[in-house]
Amino acid sequence: MSKTIKKIIPRPQVDSDSYQFGDSYPPILQAIFSSRGALSDQDVATELSGLLKPDDLKGLAPALLLLSAALTEQQRILIVGDFDADGATSCALAVLTLRAFGAMYVDFLVPNRFEYGYGLTPEIVEVAKEYKPDLIITVDNGISSIDGVNAANDAGITVLVTDHHLPGAELPNAAAIINPNQHGCQFASKNLAGVGVIFYLMSAFRTHLKQQNWFEKNQLAEPNMASYLDLVALGTVADVVPLDSNNRILVAQGLRRIRAGRVRPGIKHLLEIAKRNVSRIVSSDLGFSIGPRLNAVGRLDDMSLGIQCLLTDDEYLAGEMSMQMDGLNQDRKAIEGGMQREAFASLQKIDIASDELAFGLCIYDPNWHQGVIGILASRIKDKYHRPVIVFADEESGDSSVDRIKGSARSIPGFHIRDALDAVAAKHPKLLSKFGGHAMAAGMSLEKKHYEAFQKAFDDEVRQQLSEDDLQAVIYSDGQLAAGDFNLILAEQLRDAAPWGQHFPEPLFDGVFYIVQQRLVGEKHLKLVLAVDEGMQQLVDAIAFNIDPEQWPNQSAKQVRVAYKLDINEFRGKRTLQLMVDYLELA
User: Using one digit for the tens of pLDDT, what is the confidence trace for 70-108?
Assistant: 999 999 999 999 888 999 999 999 999 999 999 999 999
* Mean pLDDT, residues 405-415: 92
Query: Could you tell me where the beta strands, DSSP code E, fall in 140-243?
Result: 158-162, 176-178
CA 209 centroid distance within chain: 32
**Model pLDDT for residues 105-135, shown as the tens digit of each residue:** 999 998 776 666 678 999 999 999 999 999 9
Per-residue confidence band for 187, with pLDDT thresholds at 50, 70 and 90: very high
- Adjacent-strand bridge partners of 403: 446
So what's the architecture of 54-326 in CATH? Answer: Alpha-Beta Complex (3.90)
Q: Which of 485, 497, 581 is nearest to 36 (CA)?
A: 497
Q: Does domain 7-35+477-585 fall into CATH 2.40.30.10? A: no
Long-range CB pairs of 545-554, under 8 A, 24+ apart, other chains included: 546/583, 547/3, 547/523, 548/519, 548/522, 548/523, 550/3, 551/517, 551/519, 551/525, 551/583, 552/517, 552/518, 552/519, 552/525, 553/517, 553/585, 554/517
Q: What is the DSSP letter of 534?
A: T
Q: What is the C-alpha to C-alpha distance for residues 394 and 144, in angstroms, rounded to an integer?
A: 19
Max avg pLDDT among 338-347, 504-513, 527-536: 504-513
Q: How many CB atoms lie within 10 A of CB 2?
A: 9
Which of these ranges, 25-29, 155-159, 189-193, 349-353, has the smallest mean pLDDT?
A: 349-353
Q: Using the predicted structure, report yes or no on whether residue 353 has a pLDDT greater than 50.
A: no
Write down the domain spans for the chain: 7-35+477-585, 54-326, 350-470
Predicted TM-score (pTM) of the model is: 0.88
Cα–Cα distance measured from residue 352 to residue 464, given in angstroms and rounded to the nearest whole number: 19
Cα(250)–Cα(236) distance, integer angstroms: 8
Beta bridge mates, 446: 403
CA distance 367 to 580: 34
Interacting residues of 18 by C-beta distance below 8 A, sequence separation 6+: 34, 39
| pLDDT value at 1 more than 50 | no
pLDDT score for 146: 94
State residue 295's pLDDT score: 85
Instruction: Examine the pLDDT at 53 and tell me if it is beyond 50.
Output: yes
DSSP-assigned letter for residue 296: H
Stronger pLDDT, 162 or 296, i.e. the higher one: 162
Specify the pLDDT at position 399.
53
CATH architecture of the domain 350-470 equals Roll (3.10)
Predicted pLDDT of residue 180:
97
Q: Which whole number is the average pLDDT over 482-505?
A: 92
Whole-number Å distance between alpha carbons of 87 and 90: 5
- Give the containing element (helix H, strand E) for 440: strand 440-446
pLDDT digits (tens, 9 = 90+) for 306-326: 999 999 999 999 999 999 988
Query: What H or E segment, with its residue span, contains residue 122?
Result: helix 122-128
The tens digit of pLDDT for each residue in 208-261 reads 999 999 999 999 999 999 999 999 999 999 998 999 999 999 999 999 999 999
Nearest to 503 by CA among 280, 248, 256: 248
User: Using 50, 70 and 90 to split pLDDT, how confident is the model at 352?
Assistant: very low
